[in-house]
Amino acid sequence: MIKFSFVVLLLFAFSNISLAQTTKKINSKKAIICLTYDDALETQLTTALPQLDSFGFKATFFLNSIQGSSESVKIGQTPEAVLGWTNAARNGHELANHTLFHACPEKLGWDKSISIETYTVERIITEIKTQTTLLSLLDPSRKIRSFAFPCGNFMIGNIDYTLIIKKQNLVTYARAGGDSNSIVTNFKTLDPIKVPSWHVWTGTTLNELIAYAEKVKKSGGMGVYQFHGVEGQIFQITSATHRAFLKYLKDHEEDYWVTTFSEAMDYATKQ
C-alpha cells in the first residue's frame, strides 16, 4: 500500500510538472491569436489600423491591388494607400501577399476574365512574385512573405498549387480559409502552407468573436481571424464590434498572445 501510494504520489508530481509545462507554453500565454485582414480595403486603413494601434496590437494585412497614382490623385502627391500601408509596416504590422488580381472561382461570382478557371499555374506564380516585389517597395524589411489564398482556393484546374509554392519557396507560410471551428490544435501536424482561419462573415457579433477566442484558449492552440471590412465594404463588422473585441483581447492579455501571422508561424513551426 505504501509502495502504491508512493507511485501515485510520483505520478501526481510528474503530471503536475507536465501540466505546468503545458500552461507555460506559447510565450507564457494560453493561446495564440492572429488578427488578419484581407484585400487592402480602405476601411482597414481608416478604421482597423488606428484601433489596432491604440491597443498596441500588431496585425497582418494580406494585400492585393494597392492603388498607386491615378486620376483621383494628383501626380506628385503620395497616394493614400501607399502612405497608409508604408506607415503600417513602419509601425510593426505585417504586409503580406494576396496575389495581384485576386482571382477566384467563377461560381463565387467572379467575372470570367478574372476567374481562376482562366489561370495557368505560371500566371499565379508570376502574380505572387510580382506582389512580393511590390510589397518590398512599401516595406523593404522582408524579402519573402506570408501569403493568403484568394477565396481560400488553392486549385488551378486539378492542380493544387500549394505544392509548387513550397517547391519554389515563394512564400514563408500561407493562410487558407475556414469557419469558426477552424482552430489549429496541433503545431506538429500543421501544414504551414495551408493554415486554417475563420472567415469572419458580415454582421458577426462581439459575442461570436469572443466565443472563438475562448475555444482557441481552451484548445491551447492558435486561432486566425480573417477579417475584411470594418464599418464598411465587404464582409464588414462594425467599428464598435471591432474595437470592443480588441478591448476584450487587451483585458485578457495574460491568456492570449496576439501577434502577426508570420511571428505566430515562426513559433508554431519550431514546435
Residues of the shown chain interacting with Zn ion in the complex, contacts defined by CB under 5 A = 38-39, 150
Closer of 38 and 256 to Zn ion (Cβ): 38
d(CA 233, CA 194): 26
φ, ψ dihedrals at 24, nearest 5°: -80, -20
Q: Is 153 within 8 Å of 104 (Cβ atoms)?
A: yes
Closer of 36 and 241 to Zn ion (Cβ): 36
CB of 252 to Zn ion, least distance (A): 29
User: Closest CB to Zn ion belongs to which residue?
Assistant: 38
CB of 108 to Zn ion, least distance (A): 11
Closer of 30 and 236 to Zn ion (Cβ): 236
Closer of 61 and 187 to Zn ion (Cβ): 61
CB of 73 to Zn ion, least distance (A): 24
CB of 114 to Zn ion, least distance (A): 13
d(CA 249, CA 55): 9
φ, ψ dihedrals at 41, nearest 5°: -75, 145
Q: Which residue has the cell 462573415?
A: 201
Coil vs helix vs strand at 83:
helix
Segments of the chain assigned E as strands: 31-38, 60-63, 94-97, 147-148, 155-156, 159-160, 174-175, 198-199, 222-227, 256-259
CB of 14 to Zn ion, least distance (A): 47
- Count of CB atoms situated within 10 Å of the CB of 98: 24
Q: Is 36 within 8 Å of 227 (Cβ atoms)?
A: yes
CB of 23 to Zn ion, least distance (A): 36
Closer of 39 and 94 to Zn ion (Cβ): 39
Beta strand pairing call for 155-156 and 159-160: antiparallel
Closer of 150 and 229 to Zn ion (Cβ): 150
Closer of 62 and 187 to Zn ion (Cβ): 62
Q: How far is CA 200 from CA 27, 127, 203, 234, 237, in A?
A: 26, 26, 9, 11, 8
CB of 263 to Zn ion, least distance (A): 21
d(CA 170, CA 151): 19
